[in-house]
Amino acid sequence: MKKRGKLMNKKKCLQTVSLIILIMCLGGCKKSEQTSSHEKSFLAMDTYMTLSASGENAENALERAEQRITQLEKLLSVTDKDSEVYKLNSSQGSYIEVSEDTQYLVSKAFEIYDMTNGAFNITLYPISKEWGFTTGDYRIPEKERINELLKITGYERILTDKKGMLSLEENTQIDLGGIAKGYAGYEAAKILKEEGITSGLLNMGGNIQTVGSKLDGSDWKVGIKDPSDESKLIGSVAVSDMAVITSGAYERYFEKEGHIYGHIIDPLTGYPTDSGIISVSVIGSDGTLCDALSTSLFVMGIEDSKSFLEAHRDVDAVIVTNDNTLYATKNIISKFTPMGKYENSDIKEI
């Protein structure tokens, strides 16, 4: 009995200690979460980025995430003379050894080119330059010039047959601007998760990458800008562990004789796309895919986007057209809170 009593006592004692440790841990964790929320802002990839995270390793995680984003910028920049993309674009047909990141993005871009029937096309850089979108020195090129440049676009002009090497056929140039930030967000989120972060928000301009949920366990509410007035929102989507990536007509454009020319190019015509879509947000777990698709749906227009989204239920979208109609996929309607001029309007399900 004595022995048993002793054992019971020991067990009780252990239980009490465990309980105290658990309470201390909960209290301590909460405290450390409260005191270890960090934020980091910097300029990268032509965008002002703000990364925030909570958790024990938040500061270190954000430091590593910034380093990774900067590393990717150095590889993928189209203007930095030391970048792999710049070297490729000036290689005049010879093979260039490229990093796994560049290889991955070029092959991912090819996959998305395929699934979007060519709407996503990274070989339009010579055309973007001709319109002045790369320098801000905007002009409307001659139609003949655009037709000439269209001949040097196309995926078949990217050669990938040597392992670890890439080559572009003469005069062909690529630009990963429609996909790189989504990949950078995805990679940064991966680092945060490696560091044990379960609550983080990466704001990379029009690209938002959420990591886990808010500290209280509820979803992040990601606002989507009103394409007609950037100071307002059309609504917010409630998400956890997802990317919300927007391509908007307000991002980079110029106006001439009452016509607006935006920076997303229709690969079929070589002209800024005029599909009727003025904002498209793509929501999904693969930020790289979401980024490329936001650009692609913008080119495809509402009807083709509808068919595309019906066939690809792993991503969701919120779309605004130039007649101010708001569309959203079934999955996201329940997570979307319309605001501003859309507060009381119907959302068309796509």
In the bound state with Mg ion, the residue whose beta carbon lies nearer, of 167 and 294, is 294
Smallest gap from Cβ 301 to ligand AMP, in A, equals 13
Task: Give min distance, CB of 178 to Mg ion, in A.
Answer: 4
Q: Catalogue the long-range contacts made by 31-40 (C-beta closer than 8 Å, 24 or more residues apart).
A: 32/56, 33/199, 33/215, 37/215, 38/62, 40/65, 40/66
Q: Report the half-sphere exposure of 85 (CA within 13 A, side-chain side).
A: 23
Q: If binding means CB under 5 A, how many residues of this protein chain bind Mg ion? A: 4
Residue 178, interface with Mg ion (CB under 5 A)? Answer: yes
Query: Which residues contact ligand AMP (rule: CB under 6 A)?
Result: 120-122, 124, 128, 175, 177-178, 247, 251, 263-265, 267, 291, 294-295, 299
C-beta of 97 vs 111, nearer to Mg ion? 111
Q: Which is nearer to ligand AMP, 37 or 117 (CB)?
A: 117
The yes or no reply on residue 295 touching Mg ion (CB under 5 A) is: yes
Residue with smaller CB distance to ligand AMP, 291 or 316 = 291
Q: Is 295 strand, coil or helix?
A: helix
Shorter beta-carbon distance to ligand AMP: residue 54 or 321? 321
In whole angstroms, the minimum distance from the beta carbon of 180 to ligand AMP comes to 9
What DSSP assignment string belongs to 29-54? HHHHHHHTEEEEEEEETTEEEEEEEE
Rounded to a whole number of angstroms, the minimum distance from the CB of residue 301 to Mg ion is 16
Q: Which does 275 bind (CB under 5 to 8 A by kind): Mg ion, ligand AMP, none?
A: none
Q: How far is the CB of 264 from ligand AMP (least distance, A)?
A: 4
CA-based torsion, 166, 171, 172, 176: positive or negative: positive
When CB distances are held under 5 to 8 angstroms depending on the partner's kind, the choice from Mg ion, ligand AMP, none that residue 236 binds is none
Q: Give me the DSSP letters along 261-294.
A: EES-B-TTTSSBP-SSEEEEEEEES-HHHHHHHH
Q: 284 near 243, Cβ under 8 Å?
A: yes
Nearest to 173 by CA among 75, 273, 109, 78: 78
Closest to Mg ion by CB, 126 vs 178, is: 178
User: How buried is 190 (Cβ within 10 angstroms: 0-12 exposed, 13-18 middle, 19+ buried)?
Assistant: middle
Q: 122 touches which of ligand AMP, Mg ion, none (CB within 5 to 8 A by kind)?
A: ligand AMP
> Do 212 and 197 form a contact (C-beta atoms < 8 A)?
yes
Asked whether the beta carbons of 206 and 308 are under 8 A apart, the reply is: no
**The pair of three-digit structure tokens given for residue 161, joined into one six-digit string:** 């047959």
Tell me the closest approach of the beta carbon of residue 79 to ligand AMP, in angstroms.
11
Residue nearest to Mg ion (CB): 295
Does residue 284 touch Mg ion according to CB under 5 A? no
Binding site for Mg ion (CB under 5 A): 178, 291, 294-295
